[in-house]
Amino acid sequence: MPVTEGINLAMMLAESGMIENAVNELMTRPQLMMAAEASPGMKSAMKLQIQKWRGYVQHRIAKVDVADRFSQELALYQKVRQWSSETFIDNAEQVVKELEETSGFYFKARKLLEHEQKKHNPMFHSYFCHQWYEHLQEALKAAQQNELEHHKDELLKDLYQRIETMQQMEKVDEAGDEKRAGRLWDMAKAKLTRTDVERLKSITKFLQKSSELQEIADSLGRMANEVDDPNQARVQSEELKMVEEKSDSVTDDIVGVHPSDDLARLLPNEAMFLAYPELEVVFYKHLVDKRLMNYRMQGAQRKLRKVKAYKTQSKQVEQDKGPFIVCIDASGSMSGYPEQCAKALAYGLMQIALADERDCYVMLFSTQHITYELTKQDGLSEALNFLSYSFHGGTDLSPVLEQSIELMGSEKYKNADLIVLSDFIAPSQSPDMLENIARLKAHKNRFHAVCLSRYGNPALMEMFDTHWSHHPSAFERLFSRQAS
């Protein structure tokens, strides 16, 4: 049996039903069933993950160590099987000796050989190879089963962790939908500590109590649909339209005469040929040649026709929602209430990104900046790190704007909404930067700013399409702190 035949055997065993049994066993686990019943979004996400795992495991165990663990024994088996009975008897001792170092079949092979030396069975070679093949089959099946159990344990551990994280997130924010649950499931591998949950609850409560921040987040979520883009608003539609066409078959008006063979429209003087027997032949000749003078009739025929046209539907057409790029000022001047606002608003935007299935790229900046992509597998963990981050350092907006411009030039982040959360206590940007921003605006990228200080630089705000200012009174701040 060559290695390729060994792989075929491995694939045959992998498709023998062991994987289906493992999947069925997973789906009937009480904890998984209870979680699936509690949330339709979690149920669909869980089923999708198990189906992906099924495909991965089937591919993985079909190749379980065939090249390493069994290759030497498979090569020896193939060589021995092709020998004649005489050659096998002459070399049987050497074969069994080689098996001692490579196979668990050695002990049975030794007993079979000792028994044969007493009886001299002519079918011994065939019987020996058959027993050897069955051993290989069982050994490979056991190896695959061990591999399957290992992967199943890993999957269960991952599923239980995701369910636990999802349940903790439901305690934080019960207003979730199926799309958001599916997206959050992909990020739920991160384990939430009790401190994480309490911090999320605090930020969620702060956001809910601040109606102005919630309104800003909702407005930013709708912004992609409010873009006045004539090219995107003009859509090609196909509709049925009643059209009039000139037709000779519609007898609305007499418009003249012409030669033809239509007896129903025959001029009266043409019938005179039939009055004289000697001219009757002329009539029939003109009829065959279509030379009889007929009235020419014409009218308007009305019929339905499919017509393609461009229509402007600015209010009705749903624009594709691009990704979010959220830049959060982590300078020392943001500490305190602005820091709470920035975290709450960023968390609100993250929720919108999950619900709308939008990619979300987050950057924290002061004199340096750090980045993470929310919708990747470790995105939730990174988001929690951000929410526990203490703001410090100075403000340098240029590096994050440069990286945002670079992202917007890529295919993934075209048509993006850039949101800068800052106190904007920083110098104005260079003419080159303003030119690059203007170029991206022309390609339907949108720039938004939320100023969390009354002392922000007005010149900085001018480069954004839209901007909000949020700096409530001391009483409103006190109320928000008590609420959170």
Q: Walk me through the domains of the chain, giving residue ranges and CATH numbers.
A: 1-188 (no CATH), 194-226+319-483 (3.40.50.410), 233-312 (no CATH)
Q: What is the pLDDT of residues 341-353, one digit of tens each?
A: 888 888 888 888 8
pLDDT digits (tens, 9 = 90+) for 383-412: 777 777 777 778 888 888 999 989 888 888
pLDDT at 2: 44
Neighbours of 349 (CB within 10 A): 25
Interval 439-465 mean pLDDT: 87
Look at residue 381 and tell me whether its pLDDT is greater than 80. no
Percent helix, strand, coil in the chain (nearest 5)?
Answer: 60, 15, 25
9-44: pLDDT as tens digits: 544 544 557 778 887 887 778 878 887 777 777 777
pLDDT score recorded for residue 87: 87
Residue whose tokens read 């009218």: 299
Window from 140-154, 220-234, 245-259, 457-471 with minimum mean pLDDT: 220-234
State both tokens at 209: 């109590």
Q: What is the CA radius of gyration of the chain?
A: 40
Higher model confidence: residue 448 or residue 480? 448
What sign for the dihedral angle of Cα 256, 259, 265, 270? positive
Q: What is the mean pLDDT of residues 310-318?
A: 47
Beta strands in 227-343 (DSSP E): 234-247, 253-260, 292-312, 324-329
Integer Cα distance of 223 and 417 in angstroms: 8
pLDDT of res. 448:
92
Is pLDDT of 367 > 80? Answer: no
Residues 6+ apart with CB under 8 A from 384: 190, 192, 196, 199, 200
pTM over 0.75: no
